[in-house]
Chains A and B, each alone.
Chain A
Amino acid sequence: MKLPLTSEVLSNPALVSDLNLADWDVLVRQARRAGLLARLAETLKGSEWEASVPRQVRWHLEADHVLAERQKIAVRWEVSQIREALAELDAPVILLKGAAYVMAGLPAARGRLFSDVDILVPFEKINQAEAALMLAGWHAQAEDAYDERYYRQWMHEIPPMQHIRRGSVVDMHHAILPRTARYHPDPLKLRAAAVPVEGTPGLFVLQPVDMVLHAACHLFHDGELPHGLRDLSDMDLLLRHFGRDENFWVALPRRAAELELTRPLFYALRYTRHFFGTPVPKTVDDALQKAAPPLLMLMDKLFYRALGPEHDSYRDSFSRLARFTAYIRAHWLRMPPLMLVRHLLHKALISRKEAPT
């Protein structure tokens, strides 16, 4: 099965010198739909292949690069606000996924577009944390009463919380997988091994092997299809970065066994290798052989399918003009305000995934 052009180019940027305009036409579209255009832009920026990008293509890369850069700043700000809100919690706040990559300065933050900030707090502190966030302007965002009950009573989770003015979303967890998931990695073990973020007391990220295992869980949890090429790309970048230390490869399968996550790790390594050529030592393959699923051929077929593009929905809103001073609050980076879109378009054209106002 042919690999998507996007993953081929990301894992081997030199390929861009062989691309013609028709190839670029495909690449830009595919990468954008997969949420990887900004990453492609940053991979090429300042590289020896930057000059190979045709003149007409350049703005596409630049435009998404601009968005990603701006979003990094926005994520840092959100994290600082969350930290401030949870200052009295007296428990470590662990950042997960994209926000963790940014704050820890990891290559996986490169060219990434964000939607929510995910955090992990101790189970016994979750109600206090929710109250603290509410005080600071975040409110639980369940769609309706049924949804709310689903989150709280059935899933033992708090619905994602949205900031009333900025529109940013915090997704607070006490475990890295929902209760209903097949795997239950022990959050206590994860928290015990968490690593502080340099320069920001009170903030932590998962240790490298746990970060990888967490990403693997989300990619392959419960045998569902992966969330997208973007998540696989993140995994590839994490593995290449942490994998420079050979101790990482020793610890990884061991920790996977300890947390009972060998199956997701098996998939993760298999598919990042397939799509991105991630270098994985043979010792790790050997260690994980027993974790191969019974219907590997079938699973391969499923996962090798063209990966669906990501399509975040965006929202924006504006503040009022105050009497003596005016204030435009920067908004969590979402699509053009619905109001303006309406002016451009017939109302009936509003996006299929129209955000509720």
Chain B
Amino acid sequence: MRLKDLSDKALRKQLRGEGLGFSSGPFSIRVRSDVDSVAEGLKQLYGNFELNKTDFNDFNVGLFRPYGIRHWVAPQVDFYIDGYRPFRPLPLDQAYPMLEWGLNWCISNFANHLFIIHAAVVEKNGFAAILPAPPGSGKSTLCAGLVLSGWRLLSDELTLIDPKTGLICPLSRPVSLKNQSIPLIREFSSEAFINRVSHDTAKGTVAHLRPPQDSVLRQQELARPGWVIFPKWQKDAEAKLIPRSQAQTFIYLAQNAFNYSQLGERAFAAGTELIRQCDCYDFTYHALSDAIRMFDTLAEGKKGIT
């Protein structure tokens, strides 16, 4: 049964009760919440996710409105994991994004059996393109554009590498978009469904893009690494790929990994193995469609390689 098969009423009932369970790649997640926008967000963005009712969940999360004055005055919402609150509360308006951020935090914090890099990752023709980038580089916009153009979404934030196999694990969760990306992606594709905007005073406005059905259905399919590409949006720039050194790329990845230090030797082995299989580039671009064409060309280049 998929989430979209649940009636609105049933969905809300489950959220307020035993919780709503679904899988995201290797993880089973159980969400509980008394917040309307969370129910709405899940309904709109997780429709294709398979529901599960397992007694053991990897992450038991909750989004609840606090008791007391903050229930009514400048209302807030708290994020719970395993029964405790690791963060300060946020304005109620940001409850849905808080779920996404909170889940990302849980994964990057606890899943130390995987080597986790802060990067978007998408796949085509059997190879994954890893896109590390500091915020503001347009990584999420590019990621959104690619997955709306036939690339499979693995994740927009967390690249999960299994040290045992060297393969990348998908999460297939909604892609986070900010500010101008939101109208840009809406315009880019009529297939794009973006949920209601949350007004985030620090970063601007935030919304999430529904993951393509194909990506969700294939969320258990691991991917082989193919490229590490550092995107940088630059006004009026021509789409250009500039090769970079694998060893230097490794250093960047390690510095932008969540658990490089914690995994030590294991991460060194997994990371060097990964980079050995990847073509590494710096990539500048302006028009999203040009960027996608460039990526497609790369994918063509690896087509048929087994």
Contacts and interface: CB of A to CB of B under 8 A. Distances in A.
11 contacts: A33-B82, A33-B84, A56-B28, A59-B111, A62-B113, A73-B264, A330-B264, A345-B101, A346-B203, A349-B90, A349-B101
A21 B88 contact: no
Contacts of B55: 20-22, 25
Interface centre among B56, B57, B255 (most CB of A within 10 A): B56
Interface centre among A22, A54, A66, A318 (most CB of B within 10 A): A66
Interface in A299-357: 309, 316, 318, 321, 326, 328, 330-331, 333, 335-336, 340-341, 343-352
A150 interface: no
A347 to B, nearest CB: 5
> Chain A binding site: helix, strand, loop or mixed by DSSP?
helix
Contact of A59 (B86, B109, B113, B255): B113
A328 B202 contact: no
10 nearest A-B pairs in the assembled complex, by CB-CB distance: A21-B55, A63-B112, A21-B56, A22-B55, A349-B87, A336-B258, A63-B113, A62-B113, A345-B101, A59-B113
A333 B135 contact: no
B56 A57 contact: yes
A318 B253 CA distance: 12
Contacts of A350: 87-88
A331 B203 CA distance: 29
Contact of A326 (B88, B157, B248): B248
A24 B118 CA distance: 30
A29 interface: yes
Contact of A21 (B26, B54, B111): B54
Contacts, number: 116
A341 B111 CA distance: 15
B273 to A, nearest CB: 17
Interface in A18-42: 20-22, 24-25, 28-29, 32-33
A345 B264 CA distance: 25
A347 B28 CA distance: 27
A336 B255 contact: no
A16 B34 CA distance: 35
Contacts of A326: 248, 251
Contact of A343 (B54, B57, B118): B118
A64 B54 CA distance: 22
A346 B97 CA distance: 9
A60 interface: yes
Nearest to A345: B101
B86 A352 contact: yes
Nearest to B135: A343
B216 interface: no
Contact of A346 (B202, B258, B264): B202
